[in-house]
């Protein structure tokens, strides 16, 4: 049975190396060579495999410009997971933290 889009996204986010790649791309778009240089313990093929999985999950968009392959973060799939699975659980906690902060400031 083929994996669903959500399963592909969760699989992509499950790996620490892929999360580090996403952290780097959150700062700015980067070339594949630049990303590979951030992981000296991994060979280029391994980093490319991680990037390919992130592309399959539509979390990374790659654009070829001349000799360079630029990788861009696409936040939409991650934001969709946040809205569906996290936001409704986080909102009550955020409200409690805001109330606690207000209570502490009043004292």
Q: Where are the domains of the chain?
A: 1-74, 75-107
Query: Using CA atoms in the order 89, 55, 64, 29, what is the torsion angle rounded to 10 degrees?
Result: 30
Top-ranked range on mean pLDDT: pick from 54-63, 85-94, 97-106 = 54-63
The architecture that CATH gives domain 1-74 is Orthogonal Bundle (1.10)
* Residue 97 reports pLDDT greater than 90: no
Q: Could you tell me the pTM of the whole model? A: 0.76
Is the Cα dihedral 50, 53, 55, 60 positive or negative? negative
Residues 9, 6: Cα–Cα separation, whole Å: 5
pLDDT band for position 13 (50/70/90)?
very high
Strand pairing category for 68-73 and 30-31: antiparallel
Cβ neighbours of residue 17 closer than 8 Å, sequence gap 6 or more: 39, 42, 47, 50
């Amino acid at each position: 049975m083929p994996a669903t889009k959500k399963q592909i996204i969760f699989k992509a986010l499950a790996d620490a190396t892929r999360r580090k790649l996403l952290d780097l791309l959150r700062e700015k778009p980067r070339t594949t060579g630049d990303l590979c240089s951030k992981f000296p313990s991994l060979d280029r093929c391994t980093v490319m495999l991680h990037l390919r999985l992130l592309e399959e999950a539509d979390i990374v968009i790659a654009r070829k410009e001349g000799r360079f392959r630029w990788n861009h973060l696409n936040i939409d799939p991650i934001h969709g997971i946040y809205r569906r699975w996290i936001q409704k659980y986080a909102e009550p906690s955020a409200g409690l933290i805001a109330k606690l902060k207000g209570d502490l400031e009043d004292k």
